[in-house]
Structure 1
Amino acid sequence: MDFNLRPYQEEVVQAALRGENSIIWLPTGGGKTRAAVYVTHNHLETTANAKVAVLVNKVHLVDQHFAKEFKPYLESRYKITAISGDSNEKDLFGHLVKASDLVICTAQILENALISTEEEKHVELTDFTLLVIDECHHTQKESVYNKIMGRYVEKKLRKEGNLPQILGLTASPGTGGNRKLDKAVEHVLQICANLDSVIVSTKNFTPVLQKVVPRPKKHYDIVERRALDPFGDHLKSMMSMIHEFMPSTVSRSLREMGTQEYEADVQQISSLSQKS
């Protein structure tokens, strides 16, 4: 079966093919999901009693991944089941997992099944041999992904065997909103720790990746100030009327109307009023 992987995709799947926990980091349009399909196929081919779960964080991605990625390459040889919150089959999740080689579902469905006491719904993490986690940078704080991986890490620390291999997919691990480099690095390392995985990106085929996913270029068009701005004038008139109802000390503290500084001042006043 020809997956038509590009050189950089072949490079980033190597750790997963060795059975190691890894996070594939490729930009949007770089083919992360296709790489995951390739890893999944190899896993099903080479692992005894293999069972794979592909987890997504949005309902529409269940059918998208099933129809456009996994079904075309794997359905002829393997039983694939797609389950989302819109599906009545979620209450039979445990039964469907037993009957399938690959399940594609929202993370919440797996989380519900892990804590369920109903026999037809309940599953254990050890029922799977590979977990593919889409948009895995969401594995932080109180997210469903992090709850699932929290159970995984706890079992690993207790040295419970037969835990599944982890394969994360992300276009960017993000910075966690941090502007300082050390804090941004700390955020990325925390994501790796939460997923018990290492990040893998292309080192040898960056030029090929840049041709496939070219970096966006910014273009600026400078426009002249409009001679007439009736809407803007009307808006400023309304704001001036509002200012008349403000205490004079507050109104005088506001900077020039229509600027970012003015917006910041208004937001600060709004925040203070909510606290009082």
Structure 2
Amino acid sequence: MDSQSLIFQKFRCLKCERRLNKPLELKCNHFICRDCLETVLRNHRTNTQCPACSRPLGDYQIENYTYLSPDHYISRLLSTFTDVNECHTCKEFTTVKPCSECSKDQCHSCSAKHEETHLQIEEQPNENLELSNEELEILEPIKSYLSKKEFEDFIQTARNHVDRAILKQDKTMVYIPRSGSTVSVEKTPIWSEPEIYDWSKHERFSLDDIINSKPERVRQLLRLDFNPRPYQIRMARPGLAGKNSIICLQTGAGKTFIAAIVAKFLHIRSLQNVISPSASSTSRFKAVFLVPIKALVTQQCAAFRQVFIDQPDFILKPIDNQVGERFKNLYQQFDIFFFTVQKFANFLEAKHADLTKFDLVIIDECHHCYDNHPINSMMRQYHRLKSSGYTVPRIIALTASVGTNKKNAFDHLVHICANLDCLEICAIETGLEEAELRNSTNTPLSDTILSVPKEISDPIVKALKDDVMKAIASRLGYDISTMDNQKLENFLAIEHDNACKKNDRDAVIGCGYLKKFHRFLIYYDDLPLDECIKWLIEGLAEFTASNPTQFDKFCRIKSEEFLKRVAIEISNSMEVKAKLKKLVEMIINLHTVNCRGLVLVRTKFHAVSLETFLNKNSDLKKRQISAGHLTGQGSAEELSLPGNQQSKVLDEFRKGTKQLLVATGE
């Protein structure tokens, strides 16, 4: 690598491998983009390591990391080499320039070839693009915003989906058939628009009119195209009254519609000038709906469209692209925005958005509002603004289970309520509401916890614990024989951190091996041996050193002995785990035509490995049952799925191409 390349590598993010964006310095003196660090912290919670050297970060609060000063050598390099980034085509980190057609960064070697692809597309004949003079006048303003190819695609798409164009002139409807024949019109025609509903002439109503009326009457007052369920009207009461609330309701029971009813009520009242929105906002009601992943942005916006049936395209706006500074303009044009919570948090930090300019914040999957999660980061800003006397938006938080997977669910619930500034939790009441929910939603045919007998003695587990882990721990002076899983995990994290601080190489190596073996045991408790061993072999390869110590050699020998033992067990065709047998049995018993199944697992590795196991199972293959997996976003090394892959998997599941979906619970 030449000297110039070495310089360029200094300001390349070690995680995303692109040009550093808002760089932060770790304790190990490596640099990382702020967004990348936030992703690492969010995915790994309290066991986060540097992507480059695997040293524990020690500090898990993103707020405690500060940006580099302008005179820092990395800042100076970034300001000097402004044209250096990763080439979109060859992935080399070098000098680049954006393509004039698509704006993707291209290096000198790839630029000409990349431009040829655009020329090839443009040279392809595009039929049926002949336009009448009237159509050209209508479309002229659009051409200034689109490239030639984009404009042609727009015309083709419009003609594929519209049988005829409707023009309006002096209240006279004039049609241009799809055949392309023209109609003489004296004045310049314009596209007809749906008639705007005049809310100032709509019947005036109050909070009591909503919460004390029957569903049919609520439908009429709010101009809905469905009758809300009585429990949905009751649960909307705190939000309608201006109070923060948590809505705890099972999936499919209509949590989103409850939030949409509140938003529609406040939106109508602001249009009728009955209420005064937050002092710092515009005269129109403004709200933001926050979701955990990109795939849900469009989904939740579509749900709101069923409530906002009058001109939803002028009210609702999903933010799923890099709009940045343009959001300030979008804020003036639209009223309700749909963000991933991470993107909204980034917008707040970059001053593209202002929390005080919203009247309502709706938070999906609110049970994540703790530690370093972006929801909690946003709520910290909310609390700071509130304590400083600023007007803050009301909060509606949605979840299917508030105290999920917590040892002390009540304490967790108290913390969630405090973090979300909510004093009211709305849930289904026993009796009539419970019966109504059962009758109006697709509830499970059975709700049963099945116990699976645990293997009394597994030779793989015994060999790893007794012959390998105890031997390594003993060399380091650790007694791990009485520690349970959680205690051992915490112990190893602390010892590894201390070893790094003391520069104790043997302890760092030993803790690294023990952490890998411990994680293997957790995976192996649920998953097939071959998938777990594959993961372990890849993990142990990280410890290969060019100049190993005696202790390093000892750990490697112990590892190799264990892997040889496992190879023998695999060659002897080990029996499938009881848990996995039971899962396959349940799937076969419950599967019917057009049936879908959802399997929730703990980790991304569980999701990927279980999908592989299910798709290999001969009994499921015979019944043509295929599985897919769904995990959160992040890097490919963390077994994450980007947003477009998430959408593809969900689409396959909806269409029935995949009958089973193995997904992480977050």
Question: For the superposition of Structure 1 and Structure 2, which TM-score range results when normalised by the shorter chain?
Answer: 0.7 to 0.9
**Partner residue, 1:95:** 329
Is 1:66–2:289 an aligned residue pair? no
SS at match of 1:73: coil
Q: 1:202 Cα deviation (Å)?
A: 2.9
**Partner residue, 2:434:** 206
**Partner residue, 2:347:** 113
Give the alignment's Cα RMSD to 1 decimal: 3.5
Q: 1:216 Cα deviation (Å)?
A: 5.1
Q: Deviations over 1:233-254 (max 9, x none)?
A: xxx89x59x959x749979xxx
**Partner residue, 2:265:** 42
Alignment partners' CA distance in 1, 2:467 and 2:381: 55
RCO higher in structure (CA 8 A, sep ≥6): 1
- Relative distance call for 1:88 and 1:6 in structure 2 (3 A) is same
Is 1:274–2:502 an aligned residue pair? no
- Kept in 2: contact 1:54–1:104 (CA 8 A): yes
Is 1:31–2:254 an aligned residue pair? yes
Is 1:135–2:385 an aligned residue pair? no
**Partner residue, 1:190:** 415
SS at match of 1:74: coil
Alignment partners' CA distance in 2, 1:142 and 1:51: 27
Is 1:154–2:384 an aligned residue pair? yes
SS at match of 1:5: coil
- Kept in 1: contact 2:469–2:514 (CA 8 A): no
Q: 1:212 Cα deviation (Å)?
A: 3.0
- Relative distance call for 1:247 and 1:193 in structure 2 (3 A) is closer
**Partner residue, 2:403:** 174
| 5+ residue gaps, structure 2 | 1-222, 271-275, 277-283, 452-457, 472-483, 493-510, 516-554, 556-666
**Partner residue, 2:152:** none
| 5+ residue gaps, structure 1 | 223-235, 252-263
Q: 1:175 Cα deviation (Å)?
A: 4.4
Alignment partners' CA distance in 2, 1:185 and 1:243: 40
- Relative distance call for 1:131 and 1:274 in structure 2 (3 A) is same
Amino acid at match of 1:189: V
Q: Deviations over 1:115-163 (max 9, x none)?
A: 115xxxx221111011011111111111101011111111112222x21
- Relative distance call for 1:76 and 1:216 in structure 2 (3 A) is same
Q: 1:167 Cα deviation (Å)?
A: 0.6
Alignment partners' CA distance in 1, 2:262 and 2:468: 66
SS at match of 2:317: strand
- Kept in 2: contact 1:176–1:187 (CA 8 A): no
- Kept in 1: contact 2:348–2:354 (CA 8 A): yes
- Kept in 2: contact 1:57–1:107 (CA 8 A): yes
Amino acid at match of 1:190: H
Q: 1:189 Cα deviation (Å)?
A: 1.0
Alignment partners' CA distance in 2, 1:250 and 1:112: 45
Is 1:20–2:255 an aligned residue pair? no
- Kept in 2: contact 1:8–1:206 (CA 8 A): no
Number of residue pairs aligned between Structure 1 and Structure 2? 237
Amino acid at match of 2:514: Q
**Partner residue, 1:232:** none
Alignment partners' CA distance in 1, 2:469 and 2:304: 63
- Relative distance call for 1:96 and 1:209 in structure 2 (3 A) is same
Alignment partners' CA distance in 1, 2:343 and 2:463: 51
> TM-score w.r.t. structure 1 length?
0.74
> TM-score w.r.t. structure 2 length?
0.32
SS at match of 2:307: helix
Q: Deviations over 1:138-196 (max 9, x none)?
A: 11111101011111111112222x21111111111124521xxxx32111011011111
- Relative distance call for 1:187 and 1:219 in structure 2 (3 A) is closer
Q: 1:205 Cα deviation (Å)?
A: 1.7
- Kept in 1: contact 2:286–2:358 (CA 8 A): yes
**Structure 1 range deviating more: 208-217 or 183-192:** 208-217
Alignment partners' CA distance in 2, 1:129 and 1:249: 56
Is 1:76–2:310 an aligned residue pair? yes
Q: Deviations over 1:17-52 (max 9, x none)?
A: 111111111111111011111111111111342101
- Kept in 1: contact 2:403–2:410 (CA 8 A): no
- Kept in 1: contact 2:360–2:393 (CA 8 A): yes
- Kept in 2: contact 1:175–1:185 (CA 8 A): no
